[in-house]
Structure 1
Amino acid sequence: MTWFTLIMIVMVVSVIACLLFTTRYLFSGRSLRRVRIVMLLFDAIGMGWFIGRAIIYHLISGPSLIIETVIVGFMTQLICTAFVLVAVIVRFFWRRMMAVPVDESRRRLLRHAAVYPAVAAGLSIYGGFWEREATVERNFTIPVKGLGAGEGYRLAQISDVHLGSFFSVAELDSLLRRIAAQKPDMLTVTGDLFDDVTQNEEAARILDRYADAFPDGIWFAFGNHEHFRGIDTIRKYLAKTRINVLINESRKVPGKNLYMLGVDYPMDRPHFEAQRKNYMQQAIENLPENVPSILLAHHPEYIDDGAAHSIALTLTGHTHGSQFGILGQPLFPVFKYTRGLVKLGDSYGYVHSGNGSWFPFRLGCPPEIAYFTLTNA
């Protein structure tokens, strides 16, 4: 059983258990029973189908509106449950501290009980239908030793597009057009773009059409979902394009004092760390010493490898920034590096929040385009 499978099962079971507990603070009598039955049926059918597809096929496909509605319904329950649990705990301690008399006939029901599901539904609709498509732009300045005449070099990063039911090739074209309008010197893609066998070939052609929009081209590193969707076939599609695909190797950017490295995603889960380090060793094998360099990787643990080998900037993705956040911080930091900029010594790493997702919901973690301007250290 993978961590993903375990997390999904634990989350759904926990939500259902909490749901059975918290609904008694919002409803009573027959209304309580009816609400519980409806929600349990919804979760068993809707989320059961969703999770089953995700676990077995690493894929969510089907009518996007139906899937999005299922997710919004589930998230409404999750958010409402969290609100009610907080309210019940606060009320408990308030009553104890203030010695508030308790009406035994109504002690369970919260005041203004209808507000909780209403607010939860509003946030869920916002996260499911608005924020997950509200791409933001973030800008960073990265000091690089030995950059020389490359002062002011600017590159863009996208990651985790996840072509499929929730991100079409038309949307990819729109995203690339938006980035090209900003005129960065280079576009980098850190994996999990090709995630739909029916759209992957067309996506490669669209990427190729934008190669000339960036003076130093488009540079690409694979993610785990490229492996899920047939890595050999995707490599054949990319071989017909002008995309610079980096597979455990380094290359000099033509005419620039800058080297690009790229590593594959370690798919051997039991030996993940050993395979990761092996890929990194292959990537730096022909890299000259003390040259400005940028590493493209999908998994954020490569940030440590980049710092260990004095790579100026390591760009990663994979985590989607957890897709949930509070005040710019990930709500579920289950990875060593989950979102944003990391500084290790003189090296920097970045974990991209992603542009798409297979789970169509974001709250406090919008999709992004990241821009990095290199300056002399």
Structure 2
Amino acid sequence: MKQKNLTTRRSFLQKSIYAAAGLLIAGGLTGGYSTLIEPRWYETTYTRLVFDRLPAAFRGVRIVHFSDVHLGYHFDNSNLRTLIDRIMKEKPDLICFTGDLFDQEVGENPSKVSELLAQLKAPLGKWACLGNHDYYSGYQETISVLQAGGFTTLLNEHQYISKGDQAIQIVGVDDMSVGRPDIKRAMKDTDPDAFSLLLSHSSNYADAAAPYSLDLQLSGHSHGGQIRLPLIGALVLPPHGNKYAMGHYQADNSKLQIYTTRGIGTTIFPLRFLCRPEITVLTLNSSLS
């Protein structure tokens, strides 16, 4: 298992090197702009999603979804503070984080990270799942940092979110690349008629989740490719993040909707080109409203 994951990471790294080298050779498009400007030029994307069975109490609920912070790799606590300020300006009802808090190690001041995360407030809670880099940096310590910051991490499990006398289910699965995601276990004892929100770091997991009674999957992992070219799109996408690479999708032969955010930080190379870091604001609505 570890050898397979190592081979996958090495292959992705090699492809990324070739892609970045090609871009540099093709005219220096990743100069100061892609290293100094775009990686900090956050885009807030507003999307309205409509569902058949969303409870009336949850109509108009605003979810702020963010992912792939990659603290420690050209992203520090001062950048995290800016991100938190941007999120709080959106007045979220619910906050979802879909993995990769740190890049390769938890770092020197995890208590400060927790202190900053604790400044995020949402009446319906703060929820998270794990990503592959959370394993590289130490998943147990990452969970502790998230928990101290007020986040509930869902690891192949579910909980209920109540609003008034109605509720929805929120489900989280383990990372698809290096963890052991188990949607069957996560959905055990859930109400098949209830609106269900799934957190999965890797967007491709939607194909495994689609047969289950789920309405919306939130994911990250792909970074949108980080480097995109007109007419071509992403030069390279990571394993398990290539099918639903960025934006809003509908899973094949399923009611499951998917939103994949481009994420906040960078990895492998500190570059973004035509692929700005994204904070996503999703407003839930019912087809009956």
CA distance in 2, matches of 1:133, 1:241: 23
- Given that 1:330 and 1:339 are in contact with CA atoms closer than 8 Å, whether structure 2 keeps it comes out as no
Question: After the TM superposition, which residues 107-126 of structure 1 pair with which residues of structure 2 at under 5 Å, given as runs?
Answer: 120-121=27-28, 123-126=30-33
CA distance in 2, matches of 1:3, 1:122: 28
Q: Structure 2 regions of 5+ residues with no counterpart?
A: 1-5
Measured after TM superposition, the shift of residue 224 of structure 1 is 1.2
Question: After the TM superposition, which residues 282-361 of structure 1 pair with which residues of structure 2 at under 5 Å, given as runs?
Answer: 282-327=185-230, 329-333=233-237, 335-344=242-251, 345-358=254-267, 359-361=269-271
SS in structure 2 opposite 1:375? strand
SS in structure 2 opposite 1:233? helix
SS in structure 1 opposite 2:167? coil
What is the one-letter code of the residue matched to 1:336? Answer: K
- Given that 2:266 and 2:272 are in contact with CA atoms closer than 8 Å, whether structure 1 keeps it comes out as no
1:171 is aligned to 2:79 = yes
CA distance in 1, matches of 2:147, 2:122: 19
Q: TM-score, normalised by structure 1?
A: 0.66
Aligned to 1:280: 183
- Given that 1:307 and 1:348 are in contact with CA atoms closer than 8 Å, whether structure 2 keeps it comes out as no
- Given that 1:250 and 1:286 are in contact with CA atoms closer than 8 Å, whether structure 2 keeps it comes out as no
What is the one-letter code of the residue matched to 1:166? Answer: H
CA distance in 2, matches of 1:219, 1:292: 16
CA distance in 1, matches of 2:126, 2:150: 8
- Given that 2:47 and 2:282 are in contact with CA atoms closer than 8 Å, whether structure 1 keeps it comes out as yes
CA distance in 2, matches of 1:9, 1:304: 27
Aligned to 1:366: 276
What is the one-letter code of the residue matched to 1:368? Answer: E
Q: Tell me how many residue pairs correspond in the alignment.
A: 270
Aligned to 2:8: 3
- Given that 1:147 and 1:257 are in contact with CA atoms closer than 8 Å, whether structure 2 keeps it comes out as no
- Given that 1:306 and 1:313 are in contact with CA atoms closer than 8 Å, whether structure 2 keeps it comes out as no
Question: After the TM superposition, which residues 1-377 of structure 1 pair with which residues of structure 2 at under 5 Å, given as runs?
Answer: 2-9=7-14, 12=17, 78-79=22-23, 81-82=25-26, 120-121=27-28, 123-149=30-56, 150-195=58-103, 196-210=106-120, 213-255=121-163, 256-266=166-176, 268=178, 275-276=180-181, 279-327=182-230, 329-333=233-237, 335-344=242-251, 345-358=254-267, 359-377=269-287
Deviations 1:311-366 (A, max 9, x none): 11100111111112235943335622222211123221122111001221011111
SS in structure 1 opposite 2:150? coil
CA distance in 2, matches of 1:9, 1:147: 44
Aligned to 1:32: none
Measured after TM superposition, the shift of residue 178 of structure 1 is 1.1
What is the one-letter code of the residue matched to 2:34? Answer: G
- Given that 1:194 and 1:203 are in contact with CA atoms closer than 8 Å, whether structure 2 keeps it comes out as no
Q: TM-score, normalised by structure 2?
A: 0.85
What is the one-letter code of the residue matched to 2:259? Answer: Y
Deviations 1:121-159 (A, max 9, x none): 464221111111111011111112221322111101100
Give the structure, 1 or 2, with the largest relative contact order (CA under 8 Å, sep 6 or more). 2
What is the one-letter code of the residue matched to 1:205? Answer: E
CA distance in 2, matches of 1:231, 1:123: 33
CA distance in 1, matches of 2:67, 2:16: 26
Moved over 6 A (4+): none
The 1:306/1:79 distance shift into structure 2, 3 A limit, reads same
What is the one-letter code of the residue matched to 2:9? Answer: F
Q: Structure 1 regions of 5+ residues with no counterpart?
A: 16-74, 83-119
The 1:333/1:230 distance shift into structure 2, 3 A limit, reads closer
Measured after TM superposition, the shift of residue 161 of structure 1 is 0.3
CA distance in 2, matches of 1:298, 1:368: 15
Greater Cα radius of gyration, structure 1 or 2: 1
The 1:10/1:263 distance shift into structure 2, 3 A limit, reads closer
Cα RMSD (Å) of the superposition?
A: 2.3
The 1:251/1:162 distance shift into structure 2, 3 A limit, reads same
SS in structure 1 opposite 2:175? coil
Give the strand-richer structure, 1 or 2: 2
The 1:81/1:346 distance shift into structure 2, 3 A limit, reads same
The 1:298/1:199 distance shift into structure 2, 3 A limit, reads farther
What is the one-letter code of the residue matched to 2:69? Answer: V
CA distance in 1, matches of 2:51, 2:81: 32
CA distance in 1, matches of 2:15, 2:198: 35
- Given that 1:163 and 1:199 are in contact with CA atoms closer than 8 Å, whether structure 2 keeps it comes out as no
SS in structure 2 opposite 1:235? helix
- Given that 1:298 and 1:316 are in contact with CA atoms closer than 8 Å, whether structure 2 keeps it comes out as yes
Deviations 1:202-257 (A, max 9, x none): 212221232xx211121111111111111122233344443222111111113342
